[in-house]
């Protein structure tokens, strides 16, 4: 007599197995399922190898993955682990990172990335890149970061609600600012000297916010240059605490945008994270942490991005670009033929600014939007602790709407209304323009800029999903996430 399982239609059995594979959280358990029989093997191996989190010690196992399983790998998170550091015996404080420390760290980062690229390049001899390709995520940290920074937690443990790993023994004896300087770390500045293999398989590159050690534009250029099919780039660096350093970083941004973003790129997510709540004062000098954040991006950042973006489908640039600079760079001969969503921030969206100044920027945005025939959503926003502002344009199915959401009211000028009517009609043949206003009366609802991102229609384009979850977790639990 046949078993009840074998009596089920093949399509139903397949659906049951795929549901089981997708819902299993213990990956080692999937391996056991794959050993049941050959008909189960492919389904559970596909789920088991879909997403890999690896560090230096995992390379031998990575190299031994069966060839039949290589096409199943869709996401690789490379967690580059730096050496531990310890408090000095005499003072009890953490020693500042020295130049030789940074050099040693960079050597380790270089060798780890080179080794991964070398292994993946061998895969390309067997498999061809599909439409989705592989997502490569890079993070860098020392395990000591969460020991000496109060209330540190590793993001790998968030789903299991692991306790904070900040060691209370050191809170009173260790200079937290020195420990924070090591968490932020020196620059990742590497000359790969043509050691990086060329990877056609990788179509998405993510460097998330929990990597607080900054990759220089020179380093990123070399990595991106070895990814000829790159379509999606998410880069979430941290704002520098000192303006003199920030000027140098902004110059690097311009070089990165002008010289590194490939013609194949379709989506850019560029978020410059910033310290704005109490928990993150541990990551800044005390004098800087107490100052109200006002980020005035370098004008050249916006101009460079505008010039480079004509072939993109989705653009989200947060805090490192000023929206007014982007739109003022527009030239009459430009056309963003494929652009569907555009999300930018503007420090002009401030209750202390004159309404005419804000309306002037929104009108300039409308002029540029006339050259975006596929545009569905444009959002310009600003926000932080206790304040929020979002201007949005959205059009679909013959309807176009502009809206204002904020902790204060803004009256649109007739020029702004007229310009966005033209945009709706030219791009979507919308006869009327809807206008909506929403006042956020309780400013306590805005505890940080993450709350403003949550109100955006384009939020999935603004920040990496895991980074958004981390931001919320930090805000709700008064902690700091490390890779």
So what's the pLDDT on residue 475?
A: 82
Please answer whether residues 160 and 293 qualify as being in contact, where contact means their C-beta atoms are separated by less than 8 angstroms: no
Region 371-394 average pLDDT: 96
- Domain assignment present for residue 427? The answer is no
* Cβ partners under 8 Å of residue 463, min gap 6: 236, 269, 271, 316, 318, 453, 471
388: exposed, middle or buried (C-beta count within 10 Å: 0-12, 13-18, 19+)? buried
Phi/psi for 135 (5° steps) reads: -95, 125
So what's the pLDDT on residue 285?
A: 47
Task: List the one residue out of 319, 168, 119 whose CA is nearest residue 239.
Answer: 319
| pLDDT band (50, 70, 90) for residue 479 | confident
| Dist. CA 390–CA 381, nearest whole Å | 4
- Domain assignment present for residue 369? The answer is yes
Please answer whether residues 298 and 253 qualify as being in contact, where contact means their C-beta atoms are separated by less than 8 angstroms: yes
Is residue 40 domain-shared with residue 93, that is, in the same domain?
no
So what's the pLDDT on residue 26?
A: 45
Region 297-320 average pLDDT: 95
Is residue 38 domain-shared with residue 134, that is, in the same domain?
no
So what's the pLDDT on residue 18?
A: 57
41: exposed, middle or buried (C-beta count within 10 Å: 0-12, 13-18, 19+)? middle
* Sign of the four-CA dihedral 410, 413, 415, 419: positive
**Which range marks the domain in which residue 363 is found?**
80-383
| Domain boundary, last residue among 359, 383, 407 | 383
- Domain assignment present for residue 313? The answer is yes
Residue 415 reports pLDDT greater than 90: yes
So what's the pLDDT on residue 9?
A: 63
Region 412-422 average pLDDT: 97
Task: List the one residue out of 154, 105, 204 whose CA is nearest residue 481.
Answer: 154
| Dist. CA 401–CA 165, nearest whole Å | 47
- Report how far apart, in Å, the C-alpha atoms of 192 and of each of 55, 204, 205 are: 19, 21, 18
- Domain assignment present for residue 421? The answer is no
Residue 180 reports pLDDT greater than 50: yes
Is residue 119 domain-shared with residue 39, that is, in the same domain?
no
Is residue 121 domain-shared with residue 171, that is, in the same domain?
yes
| Domain boundary, last residue among 366, 383, 400 | 383
Task: List the one residue out of 31, 41, 40 whose CA is nearest residue 5.
Answer: 40
Residue 183 reports pLDDT greater than 90: no
CATH number at residue 4: 1.20.1280
- Domain assignment present for residue 468? The answer is no
Phi/psi for 84 (5° steps) reads: -70, 155
H or E stretch including 394?
strand 387-396
Region 311-338 average pLDDT: 96
| pLDDT band (50, 70, 90) for residue 454 | very high
Is residue 336 domain-shared with residue 193, that is, in the same domain?
yes
So what's the pLDDT on residue 474?
A: 83
> How many structural domains comprise the chain?
2
Is residue 295 domain-shared with residue 357, that is, in the same domain?
yes
* Cβ partners under 8 Å of residue 469, min gap 6: 158
| Domain boundary, last residue among 350, 383, 416 | 383
- Domain assignment present for residue 437? The answer is no
């Amino acid at each position: 007599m046949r078993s009840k399982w074998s009596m089920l239609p093949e399509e139903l059995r397949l659906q049951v197995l795929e549901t089981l594979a997708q819902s299993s959280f213990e990956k080692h358990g999937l391996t056991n399922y794959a050993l049941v029989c050959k008909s189960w093997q492919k389904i559970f191996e596909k789920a088991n190898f879909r997403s890999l989190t690896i560090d230096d010690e995992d390379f031998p196992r990575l190299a031994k993955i069966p060839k039949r399983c290589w096409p199943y790998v869709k996401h690789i998170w490379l967690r580059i682990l730096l050496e531990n550091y310890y408090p000095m015996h005499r003072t009890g404080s953490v020693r500042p990172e020295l130049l030789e420390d940074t050099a040693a760290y960079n050597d380790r980062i270089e060798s780890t990335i080179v080794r991964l690229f070398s292994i993946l390049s061998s895969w390309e001899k067997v498999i061809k890149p599909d439409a989705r390709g592989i997502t490569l995520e890079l993070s860098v940290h020392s395990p000591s970061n969460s020991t000496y920074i109060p209330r540190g937690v590793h993001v790998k443990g968030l789903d299991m609600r692991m306790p904070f790993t900040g060691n209370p023994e050191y809170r009173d004896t260790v200079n937290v600012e020195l420990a924070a300087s090591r968490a932020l770390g020196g620059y990742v500045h590497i000359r790969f000297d043509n050691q990086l293999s060329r990877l056609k398989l990788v179509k998405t590159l993510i460097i998330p916010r929990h990597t607080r050690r900054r990759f220089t534009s020179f380093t990123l250029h070399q990595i991106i240059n070895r990814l000829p099919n790159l379509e999606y780039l998410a880069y979430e660096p941290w704002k520098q605490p000192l303006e003199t350093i920030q000027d140098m970083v902004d110059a690097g941004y311009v070089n990165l945008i002008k010289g590194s973003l490939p013609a194949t790129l379709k989506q850019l997510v560029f978020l410059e994270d910033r310290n704005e709540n109490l928990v993150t004062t541990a990551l800044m000098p005390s004098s800087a942490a107490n100052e109200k954040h006002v980020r005035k991006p370098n004008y050249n950042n916006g101009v460079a991005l505008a010039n480079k973006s004509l072939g993109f489908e989705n653009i989200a640039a947060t805090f490192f670009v000023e929206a007014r600079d982007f739109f003022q760079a527009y030239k009459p001969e430009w056309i963003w033929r494929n652009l569907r969503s555009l999300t930018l921030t503007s420090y002009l969206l401030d209750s202390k600014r004159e309404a005419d100044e804000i309306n002037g920027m929104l009108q300039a945005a409308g002029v540029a939007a006339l050259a975006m025939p596929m545009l569905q959503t444009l959002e310009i926003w600003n926000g932080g602790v206790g304040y929020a502002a979002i201007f949005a344009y959205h059009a679909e199915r013959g309807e176009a709407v502009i809206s204002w959401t904020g902790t204060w009211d803004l009256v649109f000028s007739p020029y702004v209304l007229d310009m966005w009517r033209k945009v709706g009609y030219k791009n979507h043949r919308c006869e009327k323009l809807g206008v909506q206003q929403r006042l956020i009366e309780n400013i306590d609802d805005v505890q940080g800029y993450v709350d403003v991102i949550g109100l955006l229609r384009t939020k999935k384009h603004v920040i990496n999903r895991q980074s958004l979850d981390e931001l919320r977790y930090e805000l709700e639990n008064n902690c700091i996430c490390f890779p």
